Amino acid sequence: MLEMTTLPYAYDALEPYIDEATMRVHHDKHHQAYFDKYKQAWESLPELKDVTVEQVLWRLNDLNGKIDDSVWLALKNHGGGFFNHNLFWEIMSPDGVRTPTGELKNKIEEMGGLPKLKEDFKNLALGQFGSGWAWLVVDEQKQLQMYALANQDSPLSLHHQPILGVDVWEHAYYLKYQNRRADYLDAWWQVVDFSAVEKRYLKALANK
């Protein structure tokens, strides 16, 4: 059964880095709206009744032209919004691991280390014009890539497994940071839980 995702922590748990008011409107209004509209489109296609949102986004290009265009766009936009936010809540924690460990640490060291990754990731997020996300993904060759995507586009539709993502839509930060996206990004790193990121990394490596 398709269900809306609950936050794994209290609305104020990420204070002072991400404020309670932002978390409430972000989860209860924006994320809920993506879920509701995705569910409506998903339920209109009986052939998808046993297909997860991750699988739908992975198959999105195959579905293009085979279903109604408006339904396809709803799966893309609202399915992307639903999944992206699921991941976003998952990889943050008030008491998580703040530096990579294990295999993920080794891979990040190969890329120049955590400070360089943070700088490059921040620059990607700052360079995303308008709404979108910055992503760290495992590609089809099991290598790490970083890039930004507009709106709610998902790396899954590129057949990449996202392991870290930051929301740079204004609704993610404007109540606290206004137009200071850079300040929001610096604060966001203080709540990233690398244990959750590494779990996603190891799962992506194991997937064929």
What are the residue ranges spanned by the domains of the chain? 20-90, 102-206
pLDDT given for residue 208 in this prediction? 66
Distance CA 104, CA 95 (A): 19
Angle at 17 between CA 11 and CA 22, to 5 degrees: 45
| Burial (Cβ within 10 Å: 0-12, 13-18, ≥19) of residue 139 | middle
- Whether the CA torsion 203, 104, 167, 140 is positive or negative: it is negative
Per the document, the length of the chain is: 208
102-206 classified as CATH 3.55.40.20: yes
pLDDT given for residue 178 in this prediction? 98
Distance CA 111, CA 5 (A): 33
Distance CA 38, CA 25 (A): 19
pLDDT given for residue 110 in this prediction? 96
20-90 classified as CATH 1.10.287.990: yes
And the tokens for 36?
């509701």
SS3 content of the chain, % helix, strand, coil (to 5): 55, 10, 35
Q: pLDDT tens string for the chain (208 positions)?
A: 799 999 999 999 999 999 999 999 999 999 999 999 999 999 999 999 999 999 999 999 999 999 999 999 999 999 999 999 999 999 999 999 999 999 999 999 999 999 999 999 999 999 999 999 999 999 999 999 999 999 999 999 999 999 999 999 999 999 999 999 999 999 999 999 999 999 999 999 998 6
